[in-house]
Amino acid sequence: MGTSETILLLFYLVSVFAPGAMAATFVFRNNCKETIYPGVQTNPGRPAFPTTGFQLQPGAEAQYRGVAGTWAGRIWPRHRCSPGGASDGGLSCASGDCAGRLECGGAGNQPPSTLAEFTLGGSGGNDFYDISNVDGFNVPLRIGPVGAGCATVTCGADINAACPPELAVRAADGGTVGCRSACLAFGTDEYCCRGDHGTPDRCRPSRYSEFFKHKCPQAYSYAYDDRTSTFTCATGAGYSIVFCP
């Protein structure tokens, strides 16, 4: 068990035995060779996360305690970032950008970017979590919950290295900084699961979603990929999010 998991286990035990304690602890770790800027967006009507965006140097960890047990939202990595943007504290990122600033302040992710999605305190007293490539992929990540019977979910493949040319997003130097989903690349109802294809029986896996699923079997590869991609954990667990696991 690593340092992050040990810290989270201690917080989880406290949450189990402390009366009325339903807050969660999130620990972020950057195992990438470059600086990552995690972005956070809270769903409407849910309590705020302690931050909406921050810097995480290679090898560094950041902890956020007291996350409300009913929080819901998404977390994603921003990479190849440089200072300067629309306002003070501006930040310009080649993938995952959120309105050109360090603190996203409610702005969502600019795809393609790998998403870690959470609904804490859902039905049955459970948390629901997943990794999604529906908005494409930019950086590998892992969600490691701490709690009895909770699964670790990983999308650890370097999808950028194998991304089909028609899905690839390239930086000025020619390097691939992200891999778009077919919906993002082509915008059709068939790939986006909308219109006449807006139900599970009419929106089936495509060769592009199967490419993502082969690389990351635990992650969402298209909108209706629920059966193998949604995971649950008892409310009150802690979570580690590792970039480049």
| Phi and psi at residue 160, to the nearest 5° | -55, -35
Count the residues in the chain.
Answer: 245
- Rounded to the nearest integer, the mean pLDDT of the chain is 88
Counting residues of the chain whose pLDDT is more than 70, the rounded percentage is 89
Cβ pair 75, 39 in contact under 8 A: yes
Mean pLDDT of 181-205: 94
Confidence (pLDDT) at 148: 62
> Beta partners for 193?
none
Residue 226 to residue 216: CA distance in whole angstroms: 14
Distance from C-alpha of 230 to C-alpha of 202, rounded to nearest angstrom: 20
Q: Give the pLDDT score at 115.
A: 98
Per-residue confidence (pLDDT) for residue 25, from 0 to 100 = 94
Report the pLDDT value the prediction gives residue 122, as an integer from 0 to 100.
Answer: 85
Mean pLDDT computed over 67-94: 86
pLDDT score, position 88:
55
Tell me the C-alpha distance between 159 and 138, whole Å. Answer: 8
pLDDT band at 62 (very low <50, low <70, confident <90, very high): very high
- Which tokens is 94 given? 């080649």
pLDDT in tens, 142-154: 999 986 679 999 9
Range of the domain at 123: 3-243
How many domains is the chain built from?
Answer: 1
* CATH code, 170: 2.60.110.10
Is the pLDDT assigned to residue 13 strictly greater than 60? no
Sorting pLDDT into bands at 50, 70 and 90, what band is 2? low
pLDDT at residue 59 greater than cutoff 80:
yes
pLDDT of residue 18: 36
Q: Tell me the whole-structure pTM to 2 decimals.
A: 0.88
C-alpha angle with apex 235: 219 to 60, nearest 5 degrees? 60
Under the banding of pLDDT at 50, 70 and 90, the label for residue 11 is very low
Which tens digits make up the pLDDT trace of 213-222?
Answer: 999 999 999 9
